[in-house]
Structure 1
Amino acid sequence: MRTFANIAAVTLAIVTLAILAPASAQAQSEADRLREALRSATLQVRQLEDQRATLQAKQAETERERDRLKKETTALKAQVKELDQAYRQAVEEFNQRLGERDEMLERWKGAYSEAAGVARAKDAERAKFEREAAAFKASTKSCEAKNAELAKTGREILERYEAMNPLEAIAVHDPVFGLKRVEHQNTVQDYRDRLLDQKVTP
């Protein structure tokens, strides 16, 4: 603004001198120089005005760019804040899910251990039943064999009793001579021993 004021003052002085100059040839020449100086000054003023307008336009553009960048910075700060909150929430949710997963794994481990214990107990019980079944099967076979032997011995006793005639019966029970008594007692003892041998021991 000070430059424009100086140029205006110079221009005014030149115009004043042109008016007050004598009407001689020398004065005419001086007036021509002054007019040329005025045109030059006017041109400089216009150039300065153009430069000022250009600078003002650039300043306005710079201010608009500054305002735009300020708005973008504010928006980016808000976006960064939102992203930070979202990140913190995601981390918190992840940690929560991780804790829930660990808790579930512990429950699964407990259930698996319990199931494994039950399975081991069932296996032991099954093995016990198998041993008992095998022992019972062997005992059953032994009982069947003893029963067969008892039946055989019983048949022999019946056959021997049925084959005994009255004279043999009298001889067995004769208290005087006892001809068959000892033989009969030995036979009875033999059958008794055979029956005792087939007795099932619990």
Structure 2
Amino acid sequence: MALGLSAVLPVSLLCAAEPANAVEGRLRDSLRATTLQLRDAQTQVSNLQAAQADSDQKIKDQAAQVAALIKQGAADRDAAQKTIAEAKELAARQAAEIERLKTDLAAWKVSRQQIAEVAETKEAERAKLEARGIELDRQVEDQQRKNAAAIKLGLEILQRYEKFSLGEALTAREPFVGTTRVKLQNLIQDYQDKLIDQTIKP
């Protein structure tokens, strides 16, 4: 009986040990699965952290780009405002210069008109003086010609009196009856008319 009991006990223990090994195996499998899940979760967490870091970096880079664009936009705006102010100032200076040139042009036109009028007046005076000079030259020539004629006439009178005979002179002294006296008076009148014709008139 004792031998039979001792033979039965190992079999019972063996039967009892089998469920314990099964539980341990299941526990090990569960632990292994949990470990795998944990590793997978850690991997996912690492991936998420890396993605978050990459996203944060991208956000930081984009923020820096936005800040740079804002700064550049402000600089461009300031430059544009400065350019506009300079353009307005230049336009104002050009407008003032145009007005000055218009004023100078108007003054030049007036001066040119005055010079033209003075030149026209001077030309008219010159032409008048030239015509007067020509007229005076002609008058001088005419006076010279008349003077020469008067001298010639005077010489003729002297020659006539030089040839006048003594008898003719005595006859001429007879009052109111001498024919020679009448001839002499006619001759004197003719010479007087010729002298009047040769007189220089102003």
> Could you state the TM-score of these two structures normalised by the residue count of structure 1?
0.85
The residue identity in structure 2 corresponding to 1:191 is Y
Using CA pairs below 8 Å that are at least 6 residues apart, which structure has the higher relative contact order?
A: 2
1:178 correspondence with 2:178: yes
1:201 to partner: Cα distance: 2.1
Matched residue, 1:136: 136
SS of the equivalent of 2:175 reads coil
Deviation at 1:177, TM superposition (A): 4.7
- Tell me the equivalent position of 1:24: 24
Equivalenced residues, count:
181
Match for residue 59 of structure 2? 59
2:104 aligned residue: 104
User: What runs of 5+ residues in structure 2 fail to find an aligned partner?
Assistant: 1-21
Q: What CA RMSD, in Å, does the superposition of the two structures yield over aligned residues?
A: 1.5
Matching of residue 126 in structure 1 with residue 126 in structure 2: yes
Greater Cα shift, 70-79 or 139-148: 139-148
Shift in Å, 1:105: 0.2
Calculate percent identity across the aligned residue pairs: 28
What is the alpha-carbon distance in structure 1 between the residues aligned to residue 119 and residue 101 of structure 2? 26
2:81 maps to a residue whose letter is: K
Q: Give how far 1:176 is off.
A: 7.1
Large movers: runs of 4+ above 4 Å:
none
Instruction: Name 1:48's counterpart in structure 2.
Output: 48
Match of 1:8 in 2: none
Q: Which structure has the larger Rg over C-alpha atoms? A: 2
Alignment correspondent of 1:5: none
Which is worse superposed, 106-115 or 132-141?
132-141
Which residue in the other structure is 2:92 paired with?
92
Paired letter, 2:170? I
Query: Which consecutive residues of structure 1, in runs of 5 or more, have no partner in the other structure?
Result: 1-21
After the TM superposition, which of the residue ranges 81-90 and 175-184 deviates more from structure 2? 175-184
Structure 1 residue 55 displacement after superposition: 0.7
**TM-aligned CA deviation for residue 167 of structure 1:** 2.2
How many angstroms apart in 1 are the aligned matches of 2:176 and 2:111? 87
